[in-house]
Amino acid sequence: MTGKIALIPGDGIGPEIVAEAKKVLDTVAKKYGHEFEYETLLMGGCSIDAYGEPLTEESLEKAKASDAVLLGAVGGNVGNSRWYQVAPNLRPEAGLLKIRKGLGLFANIRPAKLFSQLKDACPLKPEIIGDGFDIVMMRELTGGVYFGEHKTEEIDGIRKSTDIMAYDENEIKRIAVKAFEVARKRGKNVTSVDKANVLDTSRLWRAVVDEVAKDYPDVTVKHMLVDNCAMQLVMNPRQFDVILTENMFGDILSDEASMITGSIGMLSSASLGAGKLGLYEPSHGSAPDIAGKGIANPIATILSAAMLLRYSFDLDEEAKAVETAVEEVLKAGYRTIDIMSEGMTQVGTVSMGDLIAEKI
Ligand code: NAI
Ligand code: MG
């Protein structure tokens, strides 16, 4: 097949890790006889430097015209970077919101998998971890409080802020359908997370999820309150297969889920819309503290490229080949600094990319 991939390396370690993911995609193309065409676009701080805004309309249009987008990370040192001395809608991360909205990406899929080779990195007790866990977080990405009305006013000398959380049934239905589709190909188990004891949006969420569930009799569904879910994730993470939740709850829970795997440098993500076009990126940020040192872990981005092959190009065998190569390299004892432990061989960003490409 032929595919058009927009590469958005971004800031910080972004360019370093995207280069390794591209190396892996090139290897897949060569081995399986595909042709990937790349276009590199600017987003984040590097786009602010070049054009004065985090994502230009032209770049957004080019992303829309591609089959898939592979992103590194955007943003810099929030405390002391010139990129943050401007209005919120001109800061690096505004590019992220703009591209998600612009591409209509309403479903964020983040696997939280504890690799058996990295059990030592997991902060949970061995009896809780068991043989490891493999959870997929499905977070609604373009609705809820992040996209509701925000305002701050002063009434009788008292400052007051309002953020509105809203969902309509169609927004809930489309993400629920994606979650059940993903669950059907995995453990056939959806846990829908809400705050239905307090929020109307959550009561609607629950009702719509139950309606969608009727079309998936092979998948079991359970509802859980978000505070309980936060607790269950550290008490008994193995009970979960697919966790389905709204935007803000998903933001928080996916960070929690990623941390119990012990390694932010390993976690991939996909953001999908109604069609095949998706945005693929590691779960971590631009890591300004280690940028330019050649030590960043490229695996999260490489696994994101595997998701790209699976969800945008339907190349399941190729995606599995990448995932297997990553496991093999870990099995052989190679580690970047963030996942390094005693007796293992420490390698840098480029070597890790080379090793994975070689295994493919
Ligand atoms: P971060 O994820 O960039 O870094 C947190 C810690 O993890 C740092 O110590 C970093 O060195 C380490 N780390 C992250 N990725 C790594 C990798 N691949 N290999 C080895 N170590 C890694 O989060 P932080 O520091 O809160 O944010 C830095 C910047 O990134 C900020 O400007 C933030 O807004 C932005 N950010 C961007 C995201 C995106 O582009 N989607 C997501 C999260 C943060
Ligand atoms: Mg977050």
Give the start-to-end residue ranges of the domains of the chain.
1-109+262-360, 123-260
Ligand 1 centre from 34 Cα, in Å?
32
pLDDT of 138 reads: 96
pLDDT at 115: 86
Burial class for 177, CB neighbours closer than 10 Å (0-12, 13-18, 19+): middle
Closest ligand 1 atom to residue 10 Cα is 40
pLDDT given for residue 300 in this prediction: 96
Residue type for position 194: D
Amino acid identity at 31: K
Q: What's the rounded Cα separation, in Å, for the pair 222 and 256?
A: 20
**Is residue 11 among the annotated active site residues?**
no
- Rounded Cα–Cα distance for residues 328 and 203 (Å): 45
Of all protein residues, whose CA lies closest to atom 26 belonging to ligand 1?
Answer: 285
Active-site entry in 38, 64, 195, 354:
195
Separation of CA 252 and ligand 2 centre (Å): 6
Task: Please say if 210 is a catalytic residue.
Answer: no
Whole-Å CA distances, 9 to 47, 72, 208, 230: 11, 5, 38, 32
Ranges of residues in the chain whose predicted pLDDT is under 70: 80
User: Atom 4 in ligand 1: which residue has the minimum CA distance?
Assistant: 287
Residues with CB under 6 A from ligand 1: 13, 73-76, 78, 93, 96, 264-265, 281, 284-290, 296-297, 300, 338
What pLDDT does residue 246 have? 98
Topology adopted by domain 1-109+262-360: Isopropylmalate Dehydrogenase (3.40.718)
- d(CA 215, ligand 2 centre) in Å: 31
- DSSP, collapsed to helix, strand or coil, labels residue 160 as strand
Task: Note if 222 is an active site residue.
Answer: no
**Among this protein's residues, is 227 annotated catalytic?**
yes
Q: What does the block give as tokens for 343?
A: 């007796």
The β-bridge relationship of strands 35-40 and 68-73 is unpaired
Ligand closest to the CA atom of residue 137: 2
Please check if 62 is assigned to a binding site: no
Nearest to 138 by CA among 334, 318, 311: 311
Q: Among 26, 134, 251, 354, which one carries the catalytic annotation?
A: 251
d(CA 130, CA 146): 36
Q: Structure tokens of 278? A: 């998706």
Q: Which ligand is nearest to the CA of 94?
A: 1
Q: Which two tokens stand for residue 1?
A: 């097949």
- Beta bridge partner(s), residue 224: 193
Note whether 1-109+262-360 and 123-260 share their fold. Answer: yes
In this predicted structure, what is the pLDDT of residue 324?
Answer: 96
Residue 334 annotated in active site? no
Instruction: Please name which ligand lies nearest the alpha carbon of 281.
Output: 1
pLDDT, tens digit, for every residue of 13-26?
Answer: 999 999 999 999 99
The DSSP code for 217 is: T
The verdict on whether residue 186 carries a ligand-binding annotation is no
Q: Tens of pLDDT along 182-198?
A: 899 889 999 999 999 99
Which pLDDT belongs to residue 120? 82
Helix locations, the chain, DSSP H: 14-32, 45-51, 57-64, 92-102, 126-129, 169-184, 200-213, 226-235, 247-259, 299-311, 316-331, 349-359
pTM exceeds 0.95, yes or no: no
pLDDT of residue 37: 98
Distance of CA 89 to the CA centre of its chain: 22
At the topology level of CATH, where does 123-260 sit?
A: Isopropylmalate Dehydrogenase (3.40.718)
151 sits in which H/E element: strand 150-155
